[in-house]
Chains A and B, each alone.
Chain A
Amino acid sequence: MSTGNMNLTLKVWRQKNNNAKGALVDYKLADISPDMSFLEMFDVLNEQLINKGEEPVVFDHDCREGICGMCSMFINGRPHGPKDLVTTCQLHMRSFKDGDTIVVEPWRAAAFPVVKDLTVDRSAFDRVIAAGGFISVNTGNAQDANNLPIPKMQADAAFEAAACIGCGACVATCKNASAMLFVSAKISQLALLPQGQPERYRRVQSMVAQMDAEGFGNCTNTGACEAECPKGISLENIARMNRDFASAKFISEETV
């Protein structure tokens, strides 16, 4: 079915379910086209497995255009593979060479338990957002949008933090499995905007508390998260979060 000429060896993590023991399994693939995306290469593998009567590799994916944050493969030791600033679904086989051996594992972190094969459970991220990653405004209570001018630089900075897709690459790559880049991106987005001020210090405390409760590790400033983030979310966000978290202890009279 494919028209290319790349031959590859894949070592793919197979694990029946969360309780089962997993292992890397070797697969040979021939005639892979360099124009295929990495996930399309997996489609070819799965089609072959099904035709042989075997179970296909389960992996998370959905939009396949780099925005939903669902795809999550750890490829040759790097989340989303060898290229900077792309998700696995936007990684193309032209980034590999004929004859390559490619090792594909799931995200590994205590807070992201493996569900099956390459699929992990990232619901911890949702619970961190539920703890405070919002502005408390019910539908129907908003004033005219232009009654609140926001300097462009500030709005742009908030947007850059808000571009996080919640994929979890930052956690997967961190030796401490820290979620600080993810958590701080949301905290920063809202802390940079005037709408986010009323709950600013309450928010940082409750989100950090939930982050700790989920079992994510601490930050030791290696910067791997920033380097591997497919959306280029900046480490500055972590600094901002830490500042707000420290300030909250002095400024805020609220306790969470």
Chain B
Amino acid sequence: MLRIPCPHCGERDYTEFRYAGDATKTRPAHGTTDARAWHDHVFLFVNPKGPHREHWQHVQGCRQWLVLERDTGTNAVGRSWLARAGEPS
């Protein structure tokens, strides 16, 4: 069972969370009219085998969005932090 450390609630089963993909993507600025920039943002994935930063929402807990470090090759879980707070220094 994948267990995710929630900054508020502690370590919980992943089934309490909703997965929301790559957290390193940056949405194009509002008003961007370049269709390719939107295409690349929406449809292309790095899809790494190894370290990955990703968004999860703790829907059955504190409902906060967090960023999790996970290795997609092993599912080993690293640090996590609140998405709105940014990466701790």
Query: A and B: partners?
Result: no
Binding site for A on B (CB under 8 A): none
Binding site for B on A (CB under 8 A): none
